[in-house]
Amino acid sequence: MKSFGLFVGLLLAVGIRAAPSKDCEHNVKEAVTPPRGWSKVKPAPADHLIELRIGLPQPKFAELEQHLYEISDPFHERYGAHLSKEEVEDLIAPHEESVSAVDEWLADYGFASHELSRSPAGDWVKVRVPVSLAEDMLKTEYHVWQHEETGDAIVRTTTYSLPVHLHGHIDVVQPTTTFARLRGMKATYHYADEQDFIVDIAQPTIPIPSALNGQVNASCNASITPTCLRELYNIGNYTPQAADVNKIAATGYLDQYANFEDFHDFFAKYVPEATNATFDVIYINNGTNNQSLAAAGVEANLDTQYAFGLSYPTPATFYTTGGSPPFIPDDTTPDNTNEPYADWLAYILSDPSPPQTISTSYGDNEQTVPYSYATRVCKELAQLSARGVSLIFSSGDSGVGDGDSDPATQQCFTNNGLNETKFIPAFPASCPYVTTVGATWYIPEVTYYISGGGFSNYFARPWYQELAVPHYIKNLNTTYEGLYNASGRAYPDVAAQGQFFWIFDGGDNSQIGGTSAAAPTVGGIVSLLNDARLANGLPALGFLNPLIYAVGAILPDAFNDIVGGSNPGCGTEGFTAEVGWDPVTGFGTPNFGKLLDIALGNLGGLLEF
Ligand SMILES: *[C@@H]1O[C@H](CO)[C@@H](O)[C@H](O)[C@H]1NC(C)=O
Ligand SMILES: *[C@@H]1O[C@H](CO)[C@@H](O)[C@H](O)[C@H]1NC(C)=O
Ligand SMILES: *[C@@H]1O[C@H](CO)[C@@H](O)[C@H](O)[C@H]1NC(C)=O
Ligand SMILES: *[C@@H]1O[C@H](CO)[C@@H](O)[C@H](O)[C@H]1NC(C)=O
Ligand SMILES: *[C@@H]1O[C@H](CO)[C@@H](O)[C@H](O)[C@H]1NC(C)=O
Ligand SMILES: *[C@@H]1O[C@H](CO)[C@@H](O)[C@H](O)[C@H]1NC(C)=O
Ligand SMILES: *[C@@H]1O[C@H](CO)[C@@H](O)[C@H](O)[C@H]1NC(C)=O
Ligand SMILES: *[C@@H]1O[C@H](CO)[C@@H](O)[C@H](O)[C@H]1NC(C)=O
């Protein structure tokens, strides 16, 4: 059999030599309708350089997913047995045949195999080519597209083709059809004077049974500080013990710079015992972190101040990834591929010891990310999760809507060519291998109506949601039937406060909200749980969702359930927050004290099920 295989392989190689694959018949690999709001400006300059990323299939991904689910299932004997970088790479390596088929195709265009830039597992191949050559390779035409509202301009196409024999050897080629904009998910941003909040001296605290000592300072109702979150989420004075091994990180994109002076002012005022705290900055793909106060980024400041403020003294890292700003139509600088997730993922997957907790507050409508590309990005998030990283994402700030217009009046259209009215899920919030965070506000906590929630059209419902989600859908009866995908991965998984957060930004003490505030809050809390586990000689929590859904079903008071309120959008009232899990606030907000017990293995009945 072996020599027969070799013989066929030789024949194939000879065949390809005789008829270069570039001259083979091409079939369309992917075609998209550009999302609303983008218009075609002009043909892309022929000499504009783009970095083509070619994704080879990962035939053993199902095996990787099974490992991931076993090691993150609290009932499984392998719970916490995270995979090494090498084990993950072995599980995503492409077939030899795919590697040689792609190499031969690229050789036809003059790229020698040893000149190609490859990911460690070989599942991505990168080549820098002028638009004219990419157009020839992919039998397509690139254009400059502009976003009408923001003026963002990018070089993209709506369809591309590949030689027929390569369809099974290439999953995806980008940048081609991705129009996502990777928005920061902040909702509102307003300056406010702290004196505006008159604390009712007669009622200095609000009774909240789940809070620390059952009380929360009354000022926290419209004024969130790290102290408020420590009271409300029952963190108290938990002090990290594993700062030698535990790490936390926040990601930054879109020229969002985390400012050290703002960070210092924030700590001096709100975390005074940590006044001189700082964080590392890692620059990816020529990302920068301009320290001019005028360049400070409100999203980056919010994310770093809260994620790192809650987890201090855990060592903290801010990743600033270039790749955006978007391409400027008349500029032909080579290093702007505008695929920042891919750049960050390539970096972090090559890190032998990534931070155990990483918070991200960026995303876009799922439908603006082509299916093939979203699937690849999601699979890379699975790889990180399998390494034992807890990935926290914000759920979006537009309820069930698409965030492109007034939620009350907006109609939400699909861009699948059918222009149907549907709820619009967000990505990466919809990826089943990450933990997605919705938002609450006020004390006692209620649903914050902006809280992004819904059901993926790309990713099927994962096993860990098999109890909670069908239960919710059943109670919906026929409400919104046809507007959401009942078989999709549902989100968010949990929630946290998402409004009135005090930050320092550009030298000003101001307030901000959004699921962007909720995600770093959960990130900080998860990092403290990881600290407790590491300090006790246990592995980090890693991927959280199987644990969250088990706890939500069996030990529901580990989360403060939010009931009532909804997340309007697309001209509807959106989903309603119900008892237990719902696609508005997930299982609710964390009770750190209870989660700490669970994280340390005091599962209180969990294992009897
Ligand atoms: C409550 O908040 C007010 C205003 O921020 C602050 O002055 C006071 O010290 C806080 N009290 C407690 C018990 O945290
Ligand atoms: C907190 O503020 C909200 C909104 O103004 C209000 O409905 C609620 O009663 C306040 N909570 C308390 C305990 O006063
Ligand atoms: C922060 O650094 C300053 C200057 O070195 C020092 O005076 C101060 O005591 C430090 N504060 C804390 C809380 O360590
Ligand atoms: C970063 O910028 C330098 C100089 O502008 C350029 O030579 C280099 O290729 C860039 N690196 C990346 C990864 O884009
Ligand atoms: C940093 O930001 C400031 C304010 O936006 C700007 O004037 C300056 O040119 C920037 N510096 C660099 C090196 O980009
Ligand atoms: C989709 O349908 C709406 C309402 O019928 C219309 O306003 C809009 O222009 C359509 N969009 C596209 C891309 O056809
Ligand atoms: C609904 O979700 C499933 C599972 O992910 C998917 O296969 C299907 O295509 C989705 N349906 C629509 C209409 O998007
Ligand atoms: C679904 O039907 C049940 C039983 O009739 C009812 O109690 C519930 O309120 C309905 N749910 C919705 C969202 O209408």
CATH architecture of the domain formed by 205-326+335-608:
3-Layer(aba) Sandwich (3.40)
The overall longest dimension of the chain from CA atoms, in Å, is 89
Omega of the bond leading into 428 within 30 degrees of 0 (cis): yes
Q: What pLDDT sits at residue 202?
A: 62
User: Cα dihedral sign for 595, 599, 600, 604?
Assistant: positive
Collapse the DSSP code of 5 into the 3-class scheme (helix H, G, I; strand E, B; otherwise coil) and give the result: helix
Q: Per residue in 518-540, is it b (16+ CB within 10 Å) or e — as a string?
A: bbbbbbbbbbbbbbbbbbeeeeb
Provide the pLDDT for residue 183: 64
pLDDT > 80? residue 168: yes
Range name among 179-188, 230-239, 322-331 with the lowest pLDDT average: 322-331
- Pick the closest to residue 515 from 194, 234, 183, 236 (CA basis): 183
pLDDT at 609 over 80: no
| Confidence band of 151 (pLDDT split at 50, 70, 90) | confident
Confidence of residue 90 (pLDDT cuts 50, 70, 90): very high
Residue 403: pLDDT band with limits 50, 70, 90? confident
Burial class (CB in 10 A: 0-12, 13-18, 19+), 225: buried
Burial class (CB in 10 A: 0-12, 13-18, 19+), 29: buried
What is the model's pLDDT at position 192?
53
Average pLDDT over residues 123-142: 93
Q: What is the pLDDT of residue 4?
A: 33
Does the pLDDT at position 330 exceed 60?
Answer: no
pLDDT (average), residues 191-200: 54
The proportion of the chain whose per-residue pLDDT surpasses 90, expressed as a percent, equals 71
- Give the pLDDT band (50/70/90) at residue 8: very low
**What is the mean pLDDT of the segment spanning 44-58?**
91
Catalytic one of 299, 343, 397, 531: 299
Nearest of 6, 601, 68 to residue 384 by alpha carbon: 68
Average pLDDT over residues 243-269: 94
pLDDT > 60? residue 324: no
pTM of the complete model beyond 0.85? yes
Three-state SS sequence of 399-428:
CCCCCCCCCCCCCCECCCCCCCECCCCEEC
Looking at per-residue confidence, does 8 or 82 come out higher? 82
Give the pLDDT confidence of 477-504 residue by residue, as tens digits.
999 999 999 999 999 999 999 999 999 9
516 is a catalytic site residue: yes
Q: How far away, in angstroms, is 421 Cα from ligand 6 center?
A: 10
What is residue 315's predicted lDDT score, i.e. its pLDDT?
Answer: 98
| 347 C-beta closer than 6 A to ligand 2 | no
Q: What is the mean pLDDT of residues 425-432?
A: 95
Does any ligand 7 atom lie closer than 6 A to the CB of residue 592?
Answer: no
Q: At what angle do helices 545-554 and 592-599 cross, to 10 degrees?
A: 110
Closest C-alpha among 339, 258, 284 to residue 520: 258
Do 378 and 539 touch, CB atoms closer than 8 A? no
Average pLDDT over every residue of 88-107: 96
Peptide bond into 74 cis (omega under 30): no
Q: Is the pLDDT of residue 323 over 90?
A: no
Query: What is the best residue among 198, 200, 213, 219 to mutate for testing ligand 1's pocket, by most ligand atoms within 8 Å of CB?
Result: 219
pLDDT over threshold 70, residue 56: yes
The pLDDT of residue 20 is above 80: no
Average pLDDT over residues 425-436: 96
Of 94-103, 553-562, 595-604, minimum mean pLDDT range? 595-604
Q: Tell me the CA distances in angstroms from 575 to 274, 338, 578, one per residue in order.
A: 41, 34, 9
Range name among 73-82, 119-128, 399-408, 435-444 with the lowest pLDDT average: 399-408
221, 231, 441: which to mutate for ligand 2, most atoms within 8 A of CB? Answer: 221
Closest ligand, as measured to the CA of 257: 5
List, as residue ranges, the binding site for Ca(2+). Answer: 561-562, 580, 582
> Mean pLDDT across the stretch 306-322?
96
User: Which of 525, 521, 502 is CA-nearest to residue 262?
Assistant: 502
Residue 50, judged by CB atoms within 10 A of its CB (0-12, 13-18, 19+), counts as buried
Mean of pLDDT values over 12-27:
58
Q: By percentage, how much of the chain surpasses pLDDT 70?
A: 87
Collapse the DSSP code of 72 into the 3-class scheme (helix H, G, I; strand E, B; otherwise coil) and give the result.
coil
CA of 46 to the centre of ligand 4 (A): 21
Amino acid identity of residue 320, one-letter, is T
Angle at 521 between CA 549 and CA 207, to 5 degrees: 85
What the block records as the tokens of 155 is 């070089």
More confident residue, 385 or 49: 385
Return mean pLDDT, the chain: 88
Convert the pLDDT of each residue in 39-48 to its tens digit.
888 899 898 8
Q: What is the pLDDT of residue 335?
A: 39
Quick one: how far is CA 204 from the chain centroid?
38
DSSP letter (8 states) at residue 42: E
CA 122 to chain centre: 23
The question of whether 255 is a catalytic residue gets the answer no
| C-alpha to C-alpha distance for 246 and 530, rounded to whole angstroms | 7
Q: Which atom of ligand 6 is nearest to the CA of 415?
A: 13
In terms of DSSP bridges, do strands 357-360 and 248-252 run parallel, antiparallel, or are they unpaired?
parallel
User: Given 516, 531, 566, 578, which residue is catalytic?
Assistant: 516
Sign of CA dihedral 482, 486, 492, 494: positive
Alpha helices in 213-311 (DSSP H): 226-232, 260-270, 298-311
Confidence of residue 418 (pLDDT cuts 50, 70, 90): confident
Residue 374: count of CB within 10 angstroms of its CB: 25
> pLDDT, tens digit, for every residue of 507-536?
999 999 999 999 999 999 999 999 999 999
Residue 607's CB is within 10 A of a number of other CB atoms, namely 11
Active site residue 366: no
Nearest atom, ligand 1, residue 219 CA: 2
Predicted local distance difference test score (pLDDT) of residue 24: 79
**pLDDT digits 0-9 by tens, 592-605:** 999 999 999 866 54
Q: Which of 273, 276, 278, 312 to mutate to test the pocket of ligand 3 (most atoms within 8 A of CB)?
A: 276
* Whether the predicted pLDDT of 389 surpasses 60: yes
Measured from the Cα of 272, ligand 3's closest atom is 13
Structural domain boundaries of the chain?
15-58+93-174, 205-326+335-608
* Residue 548, SS3 per DSSP: helix
